[in-house]
Structure 1
Amino acid sequence: MNEIAARYRVRADIFAAKIAAVRPGRWSNPSPCEEWTAKDVVGHIVDMHGAMLGPLGRSLSRAPSVEEDPLAAFASARADIEALLDDPATAASEVATPAGRLSVEQHIDQVVSADMVVHGWDLARATGQDDTIDPAEIVAIWPGVQQIPDEMRIPGAFGPGIVVFGPEVEVLHDAPLQHRVLGLLGRDPHWSA
């Protein structure tokens, strides 16, 4: 298994554990993502898995909806992505993406795999779970989040209804690195429902 596939699996395991830990009655809780509930966060991640399949002319396999069973919906979407990553020819093939031409595995790594890290924090905050992000992930994310272009913070810049990053949330310069990363990603590290 290559590094990208291994990283995806670790992130998916963590995200799945957060889904499984949501207590009954908490799925409708608001999340740090404006206008999204906890269940909407999972729906977004499942939808983004489908977006990774689109450039290949594929779609998600039939599965329960996020509304019916968030964990089963995620598990099915995850299986679809792992099938791509497990096929060396498909994983290495190039596709057109909003960021230009990328290999399928690069596209997955830069979009949905990375999304699970931050949206895992959103889901944890929304549902009262431990929201600590793996410190190695925070260190890896830090250089990139310091360089987010302003246009990626403009609602609708990449299409109607698409918001990539919210406005930067100011945090103290000596705050924990996780807080500084979250602030640059448009999240208030002290947000609560």
Structure 2
Amino acid sequence: MNEPSDRSDLAAAWTAAAEPFTAVVESVQDWSAASPCEGWTAADVLDHVMQSQREFVERQGREVPLWDGEPEQPGQQWFKHQAAMAALAGDEEFVGQRMETPFGQSTVGETLLRFYAFDLIVHRWDIARSQGRDEQLSDAELDTVDAAVDGFGEHAYAPGIFQEPVDVPAGATRQQQVLARTGRSAV
């Protein structure tokens, strides 16, 4: 994901990553369907996305409200969650906070884009795949995933990040090759 030139660009970049994810969430018919993430349903993937964002925000001294509705309505939970995240992405004080990461000094906003917006891309594909669809990622999104995996270096395959890369056949599409780097078989 390209570095935004100012904090209003950061909010727009966050929204640009969240909107396609939201569209996939809106299309889910079976939240109990198995996802490509071993042992996880579509609902588990969505919960993981929200929980990891919520934990990150809490470590920075802010809060994302928990869902207070019916647990069988994960899509509604996402809408409330995303509204809070969008507001935080537009909060100049919040996104401008300096922080230390495993990769050096950064800001909250840069971290939101480099990791959490990237996470929306790969998990959007996971949720769509759970519904039997092959979500097509744009060239820019594939560039983002590739750059993120490169940037994570050896940390990319630490527990809780990615599975080991999977093999792809000759002639695999770029999307299949890039997702394979994250341990996902898109073939």
TM-score range, shorter chain: 0.7 to 0.9
The gaps in structure 2 that reach 5 residues or longer are 1-6
Aligned to 1:170: 167
Cα 1:173–1:65 change in 2 (3 A) is farther
Q: Which of 133, 144, 163 matches 1:129?
A: 133
Following TM superposition, by how much is the alpha carbon of 1:73 offset from its aligned partner in structure 2, in angstroms?
A: 1.4
Q: Distance in 2 between matches of 1:104 and 1:147?
A: 17
1:159 equivalent in structure 2: none
> Residues of 2 paired with 1:65 and 1:122: CA distance?
24
Matches within 5 A, 1:86-125: 86-125=90-129
Aligned to 1:10: 16
Query: Cα RMSD (Å) of the superposition?
Result: 2.1
Q: Tell me how far apart the structure 2 counterparts of residues 144 and 173 of structure 1 sit (CA, whole Å).
A: 24
1:13 and 1:179 map into 2 onto residues whose CA distance is: 22
The structure-2 alpha-carbon separation of the partners of 1:42 and 1:145, relative to structure 1 and needing over 3 Å to count, comes to same
Q: Distance in 2 between matches of 1:65 and 1:96?
A: 35
TM-score with structure 2 setting the length: 0.85
Q: Return the letter of the residue paired with 1:4.
A: L
The alpha-carbon deviation at position 97 of structure 1 amounts to 3.7
- Cα separation, partners in 2 of 1:81 and 1:97, compared to 1, 3 Å: farther
State the SS of the aligned residue for 1:102: strand
Structure 2 contact 114–148 (Cα < 8 Å) conserved? no
Which deviates more, 52-61 or 136-145? 136-145
Do structure 1's residue 183 and structure 2's residue 183 form an aligned pair?
A: no
- Residues 34-65 of structure 1: CA deviation (Å, up to 9, x unaligned): 11111001001111220231222222214236
Q: Say whether residues 1:22 and 2:19 are aligned partners.
A: no
CA contact (8 A) 1:39 1:66 kept: no
Cross-structure match for 1:158: none
Identity %: 29
Question: Structure 2: which amino acid aligns with 1:186?
Answer: G
Matched residue SS, 1:80:
helix
Alpha-carbon distance in 2 for matches of 1:82, 1:52: 14
Question: Unaligned 5+ residue runs, structure 1?
Answer: 156-162
**Structure 2 residue 78 is matched with structure 1 residue 74:** yes
Deviations 1:135-188 (A, max 9, x none): 221133334435653443132xxxxxxx10101101135421111100001111
Instruction: Give the Cα separation in 1 of the matches to 2:81 and 2:103.
Output: 22
Alignment-derived partner of residue 35 in structure 1: 39
- Offset at residue 123 of structure 1 (A): 0.3
Hey, what's the Cα distance between the residues in 2 that align with 1:110 and 1:143?
A: 9
- Give CA-to-partner distance per residue, 1:86-144, whole Å, 9 cap, x none: 12222111134444432111111112111000000000000123411122211333344
Look up the match of 2:3: none
CA contact under 8 A between 2:157 and 2:164: conserved in structure 1? yes
